[in-house]
Amino acid sequence: MFMFEKALTGSRKYWTWIACLAAVVFLAFLAYLRQLDVGLGISGMSRDVTWGIYIAQFTFFVGVAASAVMVVLPYYLHNYKAFGRVTILGEFLAISSVTMCALFIFVDMGQPARVLNVLLYPTLNSPMFWDMVSLGGYFLLNAVIALVTLSAERKGIAPPKWIKPVIILSIPWAISIHTVTAFLYSGLPGRSFWLTAILAPRFLASAFASGPSLLILLCLLIRRLTGYDVGKEALRKLAVIVTYGMILNVFFLLMEIFTAFYSKIPEHMEHFHYLFAGLEGRDALVPWMWTSVLLAAVSLVLLMTPRFRNNQTLLPVICIVVFLSLWIDKGLGLVVGGFIPSPLGAITEYAPTLYEISITLGIFAIGFLMVTVFYKIALSVREQYTQ
């Protein structure tokens, strides 16, 4: 099956890494069994904050998945050759991220056994239905593209012609997954924090900064581990993409803040108040949000100075800074902040419990496992080809 034999041979280091990930997944599985037994009451969520870290991670990783378009588009549409060695890595990252997203949705469900109801009673007016369609389609598109291009490469032949339109289709599709994910939030009356037309653009901007950052980190990691080099040029260009993504993201955020605080409409300001200053003495997220702001500022300075951005030793640091800043902003503040205060003005805070954190880490581990195995396969094919 799909060159999986390549994943079954590896060094001791490889197997140790796989075993560690498997252990994390196993612990998460135990935690999930407990959640199944007791209910979502084992989480930190409540009547007021009904979505927590699961849905926040889902939202964040839809962005990572969508960001594959940032390597696919230049390579296939503009024939930008420097991305030749990184595109497949981007596609596999997208496949793994979409899988994580599906898992995050699944563990968040109160009645997971009824998941098929979404397909049995398709509801066209629910953004959640469209999210499922777009994510499923994106998974399929990327799986087909990666499989077909990689097996052609293995045989040393050009990929079949019909794959080109499929690849082109995957480009707007990538934009669609994050747009629909933003629509999950931005169409809800009474949730003023999300009720903003800039939400989808902001989601995309932050995705195009965080996704490529993660991709750069993965590229640097495999260069160190295996010697497979995507090339200086590719890394530089990715860093430029991160720069633009980050600038746009911060710009969009400032626009939000202007609108809320110049209009002085209370419902639009109070969520920002909660996140950045706390309300009624409740301020659990304040240190996080300011950390995110600080990291964003630092990353902008570093990214916008070519000397720093092109410095290969500094690059991973910059990427980590960008990634952390956006992870806090979107993987924590955005979803939880929208629920505080509640429609009745209650300030109920949220913090994930150990169970939630274990399950979340387990899904991260599954993502890492997939990336590891996929990258191993891709690199093995390439090695054999270049030899």
Partner 1 sequence: MIISRKKFLKLTGISMLAATGERIAESLAGTAPSAGPGSPRALTAKRWAMVIDLQKCAREDGCTACIDACHRTHNVPDIDNRAHEIKWIWKEEFKHAFPSAHNEYQAEHIESLPVLLLCNHCDNPPCVRVCPTQATWKREEDGIVMMDWHRCIGCRYCMAACPYGSRSFNWIDPRNDIAQLNPDFPTRTKGVVEKCTFCDTRLAKGELPACVEACPQDAIFFGDLDDAGSEIRQLLKSEYAIRRKPELGTKPEIYYIV
Binding site for partner 1 (CB under 8 A): 38-41, 43, 45-48, 50-51, 105, 108-112, 114-115, 117-118, 120-121, 123, 125-129, 132, 184-185, 187-191, 338-339, 342-346, 348
Nearer Cβ to partner 1, position 284 or 304? 284
Q: Which is nearer to partner 1, 51 or 92 (CB)?
A: 51
Structure-token pair, residue 254? 């400032």
Shortest reach from residue 200's CB to partner 1, in Å: 17
- Does residue 27 contact residue 362 with C-beta atoms inside 8 Å? yes
Residue 49: CB minimum distance to partner 1, A: 9
Taking each continuous run of H as one helix and of E as one strand, the counts in the chain are 15, 0
Residue 279, beta-bridge partner list: 282
CB 226, min distance to partner 1, A: 41
- Other Cβ atoms less than 10 A from the Cβ of 135: the count is 24
d(CA 143, CA 150): 11
Question: Exposed, middle or buried, 232 (CB in 10 Å: 0-12/13-18/19+)?
Answer: exposed
CA dihedral 34, 38, 43, 47 (to 10 degrees): 160
In the bound state with partner 1, the residue whose beta carbon lies nearer, of 172 and 343, is 343
Burial (CB < 10 A; 0-12, 13-18, 19+), residue 13, is exposed
Least distance to partner 1 from the beta carbon of 326, Å? 22
Q: Name the burial class of residue 310, with classes exposed (0-12), middle (13-18) and buried (19+) by CB atoms within 10 angstroms of its CB.
A: middle
- Per the omega criterion (within 30 degrees of 0), is the bond before 341 cis? yes
Distance CA 204, CA 325 (A): 15
Nearer to partner 1 by Cβ, of 203 and 339: the residue is 339
> Cβ closer to partner 1: 125 or 386?
125
* β-sheet bridge partners, residue 282: 279
**Complex with partner 1: residue 245 or 333, whichever CB lies closer:** 333
At closest approach, how far in Å is the CB of 25 from partner 1? 23
All residues at 6 or more sequence positions from 12 whose CB lies less than 8 Å from its CB, including other chains: none
Give least dist CB 120 to partner 1, A.
8
Cα–Cα dist 220/66, whole Å: 21
CB of 221 to partner 1, least distance (A): 35
Closer residue to partner 1 (CB): 11 or 123: 123
CB nearer to partner 1: pick between 106 and 276: 106
Nearest alpha carbon to residue 323 among 296, 294, 362: 296
Considering the complex, what minimum distance in angstroms separates the CB of residue 186 from partner 1? Answer: 12
